[in-house]
């Protein structure tokens, strides 16, 4: 399957490519003086106003999504690399300084993966096989990234929480629980609960720093499960600018380096959202809208449907698809605790935080 359709999944489907180590149970209780009482609206306002442009810290993530064991070698291994970040525990160091400087170091057991944004330069590096990829970001990348800055690969609790809380509407109940403590900082415990009895999502807890409003942790529970299906939180946090050298990267000797063409929001060719091919020439974007997704339902019950051709049938992706999915009537299903993805025999793809039956019903409405 291509990554293109993944960005349309509910935020819960792809819990940001951050890394982290095993966490157990719920967010720990606060050990200090209680925070001043706030209503849910006041906590949301505190979070919306937060401005922490520079910091560094250690993140820990745990995922119990019920994904199958992924191939480490052989067919499908390359395509499985990104999906592996959604399974098991991981640890990462995160650095940020303003909207265009960010770095995340994913600390594997015997290797390290890095994503570094320094101005218009984006580097991705894997020490395991000494490979690097470089992209020259468009001039307006910082403006479009917003005040949170960085890239998708540098997602942190504040970015993830922002995507989750964007789903808050009349179908969602929001309350404030007992104070919690994360990375030694007292935080409000914002509880988000879908009112739907269909969605796979049971509840979401966001730890909001009581002083700055910075989200310090996010915990997502699936319906019918006591333990969190996904959790990411800081274990240490320093609210100061990192050393500038952190954002400087040069490929090590012998590294294999690949240049990645990056989509342009607008370039001198006049093509909006065009891109440049391997020769540096501008190429126009698709304009027929043939791969535009359709949405059935609303809120937490929404199903996103992609037309035939969305699923990439390249050999490695096809091998991974066979290993990660199970056969169901009319296609194959990738099932997790928080999201289901149905790949139909006719090439269409449907996804949502809903049961299989809901996806099949949406597919029948074509």
pLDDT for 141-192, tens place per residue?
A: 554 443 333 344 446 898 888 887 777 888 899 999 999 999 999 999 999 9
Residue 140 clears pLDDT 80, i.e. is over it: no
Q: How many CA atoms lie within 13 A of 317 on its CB side?
A: 9
All domains of the chain, ordered by start, with CATH? Answer: 4-238 (2.50.20.10), 294-363 (no CATH)
Nearest to 61 by CA among 217, 181, 227: 217
**How far, in Å, CA of 198 to CA of 194, rounded?**
9
Give me the DSSP letters along 147-186: TT-S-GGG--HHHHHHHHHTT-STTEEEEEEEEEEETTEE
pLDDT value at residue 65? 83
pLDDT value at residue 248? 95
pTM of the model: 0.76
**How far, in Å, CA of 112 to CA of 106, rounded?**
6
pLDDT for 277-312, tens place per residue?
A: 333 333 344 444 556 789 999 889 999 999 887 655
DSSP for residue 270: S
Q: To the nearest whole percent, how much of the chain has pLDDT over 70?
A: 69
Query: Do 115 and 151 touch, CB atoms closer than 8 A?
Result: yes
32 pLDDT band, cuts 50/70/90, is low
3-state secondary structure of 232: strand
Q: Mean pLDDT over all residues of the chain?
A: 77
pLDDT for 37-75, tens place per residue?
A: 999 999 999 998 888 889 999 999 888 887 665 555 444
């Amino acid at each position: 399957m291509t990554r293109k359709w993944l960005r349309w999944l509910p935020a819960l489907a792809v819990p940001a490519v951050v890394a982290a180590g095993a966490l157990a149970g719920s967010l720990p209780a606060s050990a200090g003086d209680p925070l001043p009482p706030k209503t849910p609206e006041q906590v949301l306002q505190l979070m919306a106003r937060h401005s922490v442009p520079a910091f560094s810290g250690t993140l820990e993530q745990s995922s119990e999504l019920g994904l199958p064991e992924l191939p480490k070698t052989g067919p499908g291994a390359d395509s499985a690399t990104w999906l592996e970040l959604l399974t098991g525990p991981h640890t990462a160091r995160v650095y940020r300084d303003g909207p265009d400087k960010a770095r995340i170091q994913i600390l594997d057991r015997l290797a390290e993966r890095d994503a570094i944004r320094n101005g218009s330069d984006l580097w991705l590096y894997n020490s395991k096989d000494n490979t690097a990829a470089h992209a020259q970001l468009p001039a307006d990348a910082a403006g479009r990234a917003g005040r949170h800055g960085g890239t998708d690969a540098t997602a942190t609790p504040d970015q993830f929480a922002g995507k989750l809380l964007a789903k808050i509407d009349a179908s969602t109940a929001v309350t404030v629980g007992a104070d919690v403590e994360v990375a030694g900082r007292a935080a409000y415990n914002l509880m988000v609960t879908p009112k739907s009895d269909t969605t796979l999502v049971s509840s979401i807890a966001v730890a909001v720093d009581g002083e700055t409003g910075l989200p310090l942790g996010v915990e997502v529970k699936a319906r019918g499960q006591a333990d969190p299906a996904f959790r990411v939180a800081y274990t240490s946090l320093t609210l100061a600018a990192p050393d500038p050298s952190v954002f400087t990267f040069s490929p090590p000797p012998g590294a294999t380096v690949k240049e990645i063409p990056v989509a342009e929001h607008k370039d001198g060719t006049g093509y909006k959202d065009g891109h440049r091919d391997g020769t540096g020439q501008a190429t126009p974007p698709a304009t027929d809208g043939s791969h535009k997704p359709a949405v059935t339902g609303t809120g937490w019950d929404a199903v996103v449907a992609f037309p035939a051709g969305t699923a990439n049938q390249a050999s490695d992706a096809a091998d991974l698809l066979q290993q990660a999915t199970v056969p169901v009537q009319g296609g194959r299903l990738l099932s997790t605790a928080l999201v289901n993805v149905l790949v139909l025999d006719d090439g269409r793809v449907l996804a949502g935080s809903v049961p299989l039956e809901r996806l099949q019903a949406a597919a029948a409405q074509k």
